[in-house]
Structure 1
Amino acid sequence: MLDFTSALYLDMRHPHATLAPWQQLTTGHPAAFESSPAEEQAAQAIAQLLGCEQAVLGASTLHIFWDLFHSLSQDHISVYLDDGTYPIVRWAVAQVATNRVPVMGFRKHDVAALEYRLTHSPHPARRPVVVCDGLDPASGRPAPLERYLALVKAVGGYLVIDDTQALGVLGQRPSTTIPYGTGGGGTAAWYGLRDPALIIGASLAKGFGVPIAVLAGSQPCLARLTRDSLIRVHCSPPSAATWAATNHALGMNERRGDWLRKRLLQNVRRFRDVLVQAGLRVDGGFFPVQTPRLGTQAQQIHERLQAEGIRTVLHRERGGSPAQLSFLINAAQTPQDIDHAAERLAAITTHNVPQRGRKVRNHGQVTGL
């Protein structure tokens, strides 16, 4: 069975034998009681990777964003929520909305809509907190973070990013030949953004293959969060195994990350090339979530591919839109895997199978995301 359902984009795996040993999974203490050397090592390394002054780690993005918005709500804030924001962050925002924090939405990636919301706010005395995902996996487009940040700074607010999709994939200094950039530090690094008004949260489960989450930002912001934290008082920290896997992942990223990202890009290019030659349009740009435009046939094609031994993701966007079918590309898939899946999709949808053994053009050269 060929699997195109896993979001382990770099195919980072952390077998027990590759990890630093541990004597016990947990100490029995809450996260606020003490931090281990492994935790401090991971926090320092990932803060540096994200270009932030400080970072804290937690069991999940729900934990870290719950704590973040609890801490921010101690101030006099209002929240402006990009419509493309992932549900977990929305749940964290919802808990402060019950405490009379105003929450207003605006259209996904629409700078003008956000500017209008900020300049016509019914709560001008409150500090604005703008919330968005760093990257939209459906289109492969990064959010306009530079322009969001400029608007936020003009009114003394914060920009909060959920960068789970981009962490490990995007990085600093992108170019036409290396559109992902280098380092894997995420969308803010891709834009070259460093600012005290910027707060970055992300899971490491996709890009780095570890079920742990990070929250990074300025030293004053993180100091306040740890002071106000309820999660760190009432919940256990990640296990010793998770800390070991986190540090292993960060070391692997430093040693081999750019090579894995290059391999991932080649696979995405190869997949798109086959489908374009067959006359199919594909959403996702050069991000590893690739969504062919199949109209109303997505479910039928999903079932047909499943019967042929190819697993894909069948999903719906919010708002009751028709089902869509996506292929999640990763760095471990072989050229033969990519060709077979793309050619079978082309055959099913267009009855136009590209010839095997064709010369696939220019997989290392791209024009951008």
Structure 2
Amino acid sequence: MPDFTSALYLGFAHPSASLPPWEALTLGRPAALAESAGGRALAQELTRLIGGEAGLLYPSTLHLFRDLFQVAAPKGTLILFDGASYPIARWGADGAAVNGIPIETFPHRDLIALERRVRQARRAGQRPLIVVDGLCPSCGRPAQLPALARLAADAGGRLVIDDTQAIGVLGREPSPIAPLGIGGGGTLAWYGLRSQATIVGASLAKAFGAPFAIVSGASTIMKQLAREGQTRIHTSAASAADVAAGQNAVTINRAQGEGRRARVVRLVEQLRKELEKLGLQSRSELPIPVQAIAMPSLRVAKAVLASLDESCIYGLVTRSCLGGLPSLTLLITARHTTANISRAAAGLACAMDAASRAYHQRVEAA
């Protein structure tokens, strides 16, 4: 029963028997007053992996972005979201909008339009806060971080990266041998980029399989977040179980991460070869775990998904960042096998044939 809907890309599961015991799941005190045991050390280790200066743990990216936009978007800020940004960061910016901070969207990956808007903002006395996904799961391309970081810094603003899709997947020194890079530090590591004006927020719930989030950036703003972040004042820190899972993920990543990422790449390459034989194309530029397969219409995408479901092969219907075009998306993990990929390809072949027959029947009936 091949399931291609799980975002546990590296196959980390963290069963309870693999984790050390804890005396209390939560301390019952606000995160601003106390962290779970080991939380501070884990934040430091993840920050080193990402390439930041300092970091904090949060129970989720929604908590994280709620605080971040409260602290990093004072009066005079203009928040600029990439048009394909994941919704969680946008929801986190709602508090800033309530406080009168303007929020706008620029076309996905359109640096020319963004630069034009940033120049206008500077003439109006506004500082830009540019928000992008580090890795777009739809087109499989990393954001143009060097150019974005320069643009933000030159305008006296900041760049905020939601790196949830990239952490654990992309890493430093990408090459033909290791197309996703090594280490799993995310898109900053991918570009070898360090910038005081850049902040990274990411959930560890995908590649690392641990349901909490990390924010990393310059030590000055991390200290401000630690003191003033409203969710840290009013909610508890990441739980002891979350921290234990995170520590386990870091340990496994250090020992097995390269092998698991290489396995994902091999499986993705196998899938792409199978798709090519079927006349289908992946929209994903890099061999990342998220493979979005171009579909001719939403009707066909839904019909193919239903046919796969009947064969106990599970995928997702999504919309592309390119004009909202429909895709059938398969999430490849290190736990999949070559047999799983072959079965998915065979199922796709049958499903596409069935969709084609249904289309011609409708045309003839009309």
Shorter-chain TM-score: which interval?
over 0.9
| Partner Cα distance (1:27, 1:193) in 2 | 36
Query: SS in structure 2 opposite 1:283?
Result: coil
Which residue does 2:364 correspond to in 1?
none
One-letter code of the match for 2:263? Answer: R
More helix by share: 2
The SS at the match of 2:93 is helix
What does residue 324 of structure 1 align with? 327
Paired residue for 1:25? 25
Q: How far, CA to CA, are the matches of 2:86 and 2:243 in structure 1?
A: 25
**Partner residue, 2:315:** 312
State the Cα distance separating 1:237 from its structure 2 match.
1.2
Partner of 1:301: 304
C-alpha contact (below 8 Å) 1:165/1:206 kept by paired residues: yes
Residue 346 of structure 1 and its aligned partner are, at CA, apart by: 2.3
Q: How far apart, CA to CA, are the structure 2 residues paired with 1:154 and 1:30?
A: 37
Q: Answer yes or no: is the 8 Å Cα contact 1:204–1:214 preserved in 2.
A: yes
* Contact 2:181 2:190 (8 Å CA) reproduced: yes
Q: Match of 2:152?
A: 152
* Residues 137 and 322 of structure 1, relative CA distance in 2, 3 Å threshold: closer
How far, CA to CA, are the matches of 1:270 and 1:320 in structure 2? Answer: 28
**Residues 2, 337 of structure 1: 8 Å contact kept:** yes
Question: Which residue identity is paired with 1:201?
Answer: G
- The CA deviation at 1:85 is 1.0
Which amino acid letter does the alignment assign opposite residue 330 of structure 1? T
Q: Is this contact kept in 2: 1:55–1:217, CA < 8 A?
A: yes
What residue ranges of structure 1 are gaps of 5+ in the alignment? 352-369
Shift of 1:320: 9.4
Is 1:290 matched with 2:261? no
Contact 2:73 2:129 in 1 (8 A): no
Q: Aligned letter for 1:295?
A: P
Residue 183 of structure 1 aligns with an amino acid whose one-letter code is G
Work out the CA distance in 2 between the residues paired with 1:317 and 1:281. Answer: 13
Cross-structure match for 1:339: 342
Greater CA deviation, 119-128 or 185-194? 119-128
Aligned length: 351
Change (3 A) 1:262 1:322: closer
Q: Name the aligned partner's letter for residue 82 of structure 1.
A: D
Give the Cα separation in 1 of the matches to 2:94 and 2:28: 30
* Matching residue of 1:139: 139
Counterpart-to-counterpart distance in 2, 1:215 and 1:63: 11
Which segment is superposed worse, 253-262 or 278-287?
Answer: 278-287
Q: 2:107 and 2:319 mapped to 1: Cα distance? A: 19
Is the 2:75–2:101 Cα contact (8 Å) retained in structure 1? no
Q: Report if aligned partners of 2:167, 2:186 keep a CA contact under 8 Å in 1.
A: yes
Instruction: Quote how far apart the aligned CAs of 1:115 are.
Output: 0.5
TM-score computed with the length of structure 1 as normaliser: 0.91
Structure-to-structure mapping, 1:82-97, within 5 angstroms: 82-97=82-97
Judging changes above 3 Å, is the alpha-carbon distance between structure 1 residues 22 and 268 closer, same or farther for their aligned structure 2 residues? same
- Return the letter of the residue paired with 1:287: I
Are the counterparts in 1 of residues 315 and 331 from structure 2 also a CA contact under 8 Å? yes
Task: Give the structure 2 partner of residue 247 of structure 1.
Answer: 247
Deviates more, 1:129-138 or 1:95-104: 95-104
Identity %: 41
CA contact (8 A) 2:294 2:326 kept: no
